[in-house]
Amino acid sequence: MSESRTVTAAALAIGDELLSGRTRDRNIGHLAELLTAAGIDLEEVRIVPDDQERIVEALNALRARYDYVFTSGGIGPTHDDITADAVAAAFGVACSHDADALALLDAHYAERGMEFTEARRRMARMPVGSRHIDNPVSKAPGFVIGNVHVMAGVPSVFQAMLDNVLPTLNTGVKMHSEKVSCPYGEGDIGDPLSAIAEAHPTVNIGSYPRFSGDRFSTEIVIRGRDQAAIAAARRDVEAMLSSTGSRLAPKAV
Amino acid sequence: MSESRTVTAAALAIGDELLSGRTRDRNIGHLAELLTAAGIDLEEVRIVPDDQERIVEALNALRARYDYVFTSGGIGPTHDDITADAVAAAFGVACSHDADALALLDAHYAERGMEFTEARRRMARMPVGSRHIDNPVSKAPGFVIGNVHVMAGVPSVFQAMLDNVLPTLNTGVKMHSEKVSCPYGEGDIGDPLSAIAEAHPTVNIGSYPRFSGDRFSTEIVIRGRDQAAIAAARRDVEAMLSSTGSRLAPKAV
């Protein structure tokens, strides 16, 4: 995959709390930013409840379609943490206590004088054949099986696991992006911007409105894998903004 | 649907910027919270890029499965705003300039002395047969077709549109929830909490870790439609927390 121009990914966030509004997801945006910086295109995100059938269905759809899938949530010690079982079911393999993970956790809790409860032992369960993802924050590992990376939902743990995962991934040609701030609303620049987008088919030109008080401004983002093409599109955008300024400004006497 | 016990919904957030990490979504959590409060169960979320084929595919999957679908993003005036076309394609109807929306926007821009550009006219395009969703913030309406509610991505506009949509929806029996703060980590309470969850099958007991510094605490959330069942489960959780406290506390001399 390191030879191909694009490497694709999907995210699957798992948890009733994300769908009830109790918890606002903080992992998807972080993952998106780091994957983009690494040259991996996040192409789809799904959020599903703690329900095995729904997790299996989403995971199988995503892992068949994208180079990588990253999951968050549901790998803790309680009864509602069913991600390991669901991932095993999706791959059609058993989910069992991993000997290395048990040893790791046993030592961790012994060191801290904490009981290694049956609940904590649950965190050593993973699909047979998985590799660990180290967890420097709270020890219980995530895991990788096939192209699926299973990580914690607690943001500090998710981030630490992702930092360990990123260097192991194949990456594509990096996507570059440049921003141009535009003081006019999208309605004022939409027509000429559309013409610029058509004239520069190798870049992707995004236009993002900001609304404050009673007026819109716009951030224009030019994205692409070829920096010269981005620069050429940027010149056209900047020229367009100057002429929009002249058009909209009250005529000088 | 107002007779049934549950009304279900899905959210579809549309936009390259959500997947590149440029923008952190701020609509999904808000929608989740308001739907839950209204007695509608948000059961799935997807985020897809500004790509017609991907929008159509996700929308058709979601609208077949859930009572309602709520989309955000891609209904502005620029070339990358393709949601109206994609929704029309998903329903197999034409997308055209809506006469009422044109009149509304024409008056709006005339009043403000702004040019009614072709780009701004794009915001009046919607699938034939749609009803408007009023936009008190910036005028350009969202729209409803079938069970799909199409709203803006700018959070202030999304929120205003949602406020107009909510009173029009059928709602189910409201889901209630109670929180119990637990000073212990999930590993300390996972085993007894699992037994409580099994003993109270009509409620859903969620357990959410918080990590700060070097220790975990837990928030336990009991959700259900029957308040007496929630109260019964809560009593068992509180009794369990007392006995966990006695078990973990150093013995008094």
Does residue A67 surpass a pLDDT of 50? yes
A35 touches chain B (CB under 8 A): yes
Looking at the domain assignment, is residue B45 inside a domain? Answer: yes
Q: How many angstroms separate the CA atoms of B114 and B228, rounded? A: 58
Same domain, A20 and A55: yes
Same domain, B71 and B147: yes
Please answer yes or no on whether A120 and B154 come within 8 Å at the CB atom: no
Give the position of tokens 């952190």: B24
Question: Could you say which of B20, B120, B123 has the minimum Cβ distance to residue A223?
Answer: B20
Q: What is the tally of structural domains in chain B?
A: 2
Q: How many angstroms separate the CA atoms of A131 and A116, rounded? A: 22
Q: How many angstroms separate the CA atoms of B48 and A204, rounded? A: 16
The nearest CA of chain A is from the CA of B227 a distance in Å of 17
pLDDT above 90 coverage of chain A, percent: 89
Same domain, A212 and A242: yes
Looking at the domain assignment, is residue B1 inside a domain? Answer: no
Same domain, B156 and B186: no
Looking at the domain assignment, is residue A3 inside a domain? Answer: no
Three-state SS at A97? strand
Count CA atoms closer than 13 A to B250's CA, side-chain side.
2
Does residue A213 surpass a pLDDT of 80? no
> What strand order describes the sheet that includes A176-182?
A176-182, A215-224, A204-212
Looking at the domain assignment, is residue A43 inside a domain? Answer: yes
Looking at the domain assignment, is residue B156 inside a domain? Answer: yes
The per-residue pLDDT for B250 is 58
Does residue A137 surpass a pLDDT of 80? yes
Please answer yes or no on whether A32 and B45 come within 8 Å at the CB atom: no
The per-residue pLDDT for B247 is 85
Does residue A3 surpass a pLDDT of 80? no
Same domain, A62 and A185: no
What is chain B's pLDDT, residue by residue, as a tens digit (253 residues)?
A: 444 479 999 999 999 999 999 999 999 999 999 999 999 999 999 999 999 999 999 999 999 999 999 999 999 999 999 999 999 999 999 999 999 999 999 999 999 999 999 999 999 999 999 999 999 998 999 999 999 999 999 999 999 999 999 999 999 888 899 999 999 999 999 999 999 999 999 999 999 988 877 788 999 999 999 999 999 999 999 999 999 988 887 544 4
Same domain, A160 and A186: no
Give the position of tokens 């716009």: A218
Does residue A182 surpass a pLDDT of 80? yes
Q: How many angstroms separate the CA atoms of A233 and B12, rounded? A: 30
CATH number (domain holding residue B242): 3.30.1370.10
The per-residue pLDDT for B1 is 42
Same domain, A180 and A164: no
Does the CA dihedral B59-B63-B66-B68 come out positive or negative?
positive
Looking at the domain assignment, is residue B2 inside a domain? Answer: no
> What strand order describes the sheet that includes B204-212?
B176-182, B215-224, B204-212
A80-89, A121-130, B159-168, B239-248: segment of lowest average pLDDT? B239-248
The whole-number average pLDDT for the span A196-213 is 91
Work out the pLDDT band at A118, boundaries 50, 70, 90: very high
Please answer yes or no on whether B25 and A29 come within 8 Å at the CB atom: yes
The per-residue pLDDT for A252 is 45
Residues 6+ apart with CB under 8 A from A102: A121, A124
Give the position of tokens 């009250």: A250
Work out the pLDDT band at A250, boundaries 50, 70, 90: low
Same domain, A61 and A164: yes
Please answer yes or no on whether B190 and A138 come within 8 Å at the CB atom: no
Q: Hey, what are A198's tokens?
A: 């058509």
Q: Which residue has the higher pLDDT, A162 or B245?
A: A162
Contact B158, B30 (CB under 8 A): yes
From the list B83, B66, B160, B73, the residue with the least C-alpha distance to B127 is B83
Work out the pLDDT band at A208, boundaries 50, 70, 90: very high
Domain end residue (candidates: A114, A137, A168): A168
ipTM confidence: 0.92
Measured CA distances, B238 to A24, A246, B180, B203 (Å): 26, 69, 8, 16
Same domain, A31 and A127: yes
Domain end residue (candidates: B168, B200, B218): B168
Same domain, A42 and A148: yes
Same domain, B54 and B157: yes
Q: Would you mind telling me the total number of residues written for chain A in this entry?
A: 253
Could you tell me the residue range of the domain that residue A15 belongs to?
8-168
Pairing of strands A204-212, A215-224: antiparallel
Q: Hey, what are B235's tokens?
A: 């009593």
Please answer yes or no on whether A35 and B42 come within 8 Å at the CB atom: no
The kind and range of the H/E element at A212 are strand A204-212
Pairing of strands A8-14, A41-48: parallel
Looking at the domain assignment, is residue B253 inside a domain? Answer: no
Average pLDDT across chain A, whole number: 94
- Please identify among residues 232-251 of chain B the ones whose CB lies closer than 8 Å to any CB of chain A: none
Does the CA dihedral B114-B116-B122-B126 come out positive or negative?
positive
Domain end residue (candidates: A148, A168, A188): A168
Three-state SS at B207? strand
CATH number (domain holding residue A47): 3.40.980.10
The per-residue pLDDT for A211 is 80
CATH number (domain holding residue A228): 3.30.70.2860
Measured CA distances, A115 to A4, A7, A102, A103, A106 (Å): 49, 43, 13, 14, 9
Same domain, B12 and B50: yes
Pairing of strands A125-127, A95-97: antiparallel
- Please identify among residues 89-128 of chain B the ones whose CB lies closer than 8 Å to any CB of chain A: 109, 114-115, 117-120, 122-123
Looking at the domain assignment, is residue B3 inside a domain? Answer: no
Read off the pLDDT of residues A95-115 as tens digits, 9 standing for 90 and up.
999 999 999 999 999 999 999
Instruction: Pinpoint the alpha helices (H) of chain B.
Output: 16-20, 28-38, 52-65, 83-91, 99-111, 118-122, 155-165, 186-199, 227-248
Beta-ladder partners of B96: B126
The per-residue pLDDT for B2 is 43
Q: Hey, what are A65's tokens?
A: 């379609």
